[in-house]
């Protein structure tokens, strides 16, 4: 794994981790979730490497190395659109560095799946496919949620921690061993997350960050038909952040109605982080098979 960075249009240094491989057949770009970072995808990236894929994972605005030492995730200049633009610049760099003619796939997890959906709507003509994992919004109600969050869009509240919103996901598992039991049934993986200084309550989202992401996505929902590449939608059936899988079903249905070639899989007993679940090998194998068939 190697770390690179670029300066985006707003002067933000955006970092990414790269997992190169000899003679790759395609490129997979990873858009991580809330209150985490690209380094957590090392195991998944190595599995993709072993199957012949070069892998690049961004540290989104306010996360990982891109957070520039801040103690919480702040979006900064450009708002949610800047995240899409950062992904676009990274994908352009990937083509230049790895292979201009190689197919590119975009994998997005959790909040990163919303960013990935926005990217697919704006730029799918340059992609071979997209994977939305742990899709974390009800597309039927995204405008209502955006309106609710707008109440926190004040100078006093924008940079305040919104950790309580994520913490509510633990309610179905109370009494819980940790505040993060909702992420996975695998206690070892949960403990790794809890101990990571760039994850969870140690590096919370802010209200402004959530507002900017939903302000980005809400007006794009009506443009889902602009997506021209196939999309895989996956979620855990015990994932409260994905409505116990229902948000994935709603997203897949919306994609299908719009004429997007869509494949949906719900892993009934799994929680939010499918790549860190007991059945992660099954999930990874399904992703690899989906990629192989494209």
Domains of the chain are 2-293 (3.40.50.1820)
The confidence score (pLDDT) of residue 156 equals 80
The confidence score (pLDDT) of residue 91 equals 99
Query: Tens digits of per-residue pLDDT, 117-170?
Result: 999 999 999 999 999 999 999 998 876 766 767 777 888 889 999 999 899 999
The confidence score (pLDDT) of residue 163 equals 93
The confidence score (pLDDT) of residue 146 equals 65
For the chain, the straight-line distance linking the first and the last C-alpha, in angstroms and rounded, comes to 26
Confidence of residue 265 (pLDDT cuts 50, 70, 90): very high
Given a cut of 90, is residue 267 above it in pLDDT?
A: yes
The confidence score (pLDDT) of residue 80 equals 96
Average pLDDT over residues 99-122: 98
Mean pLDDT over each residue of the chain, to the nearest integer: 96
Given a cut of 70, is residue 103 above it in pLDDT?
A: yes
């Amino acid at each position: 794994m190697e770390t690179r960075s670029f300066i985006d249009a707003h002067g933000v240094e955006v970092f990414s981790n790269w997992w190169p491989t000899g003679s790759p057949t395609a490129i997979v770009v990873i858009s991580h979730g809330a209150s985490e970072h690209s380094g957590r995808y090392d195991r998944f990236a190595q599995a993709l490497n072993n199957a012949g894929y070069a892998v690049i994972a961004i540290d989104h605005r306010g996360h990982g190395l891109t957070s520039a030492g801040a103690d919480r995730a702040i979006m900064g200049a450009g708002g949610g659109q800047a995240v899409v633009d950062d992904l676009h610049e990274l994908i352009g760099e990937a083509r230049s560095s790895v292979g201009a003619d190689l197919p590119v796939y975009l994998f997005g997890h959790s909040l990163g799946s919303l960013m990935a959906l926005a990217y697919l709507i704006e730029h799918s003509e340059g992609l071979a496919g997209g994977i939305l994992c742990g899709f974390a919004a009800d597309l039927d109600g995204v405008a209502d949620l955006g309106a609710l969050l707008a109440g926190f869009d004040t100078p006093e509240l924008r940079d305040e921690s919104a950790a309580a919103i994520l913490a509510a996901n633990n309610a179905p598992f109370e009494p819980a061993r940790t505040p993060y039991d909702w992420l996975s049934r695998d206690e070892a993986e949960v403990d790794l997350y809890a101990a990571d200084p760039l994850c969870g309550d140690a590096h919370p989202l802010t209200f402004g960050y959530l507002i900017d992401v939903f302000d980005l996505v809400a007006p794009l929902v009506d443009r889902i038909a602009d997506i021209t590449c196939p999309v895989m939608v996956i979620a855990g059936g015990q994932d409260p952040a994905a409505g116990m899988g229902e948000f994935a079903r709603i997203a897949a249905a919306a994609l299908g109605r719009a004429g997007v070639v869509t494949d949906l899989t719900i892993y009934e007993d799994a929680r939010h982080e499918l790549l860190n679940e007991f059945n992660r090998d099954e999930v990874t194998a399904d992703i690899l098979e989906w990629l192989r068939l494209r």
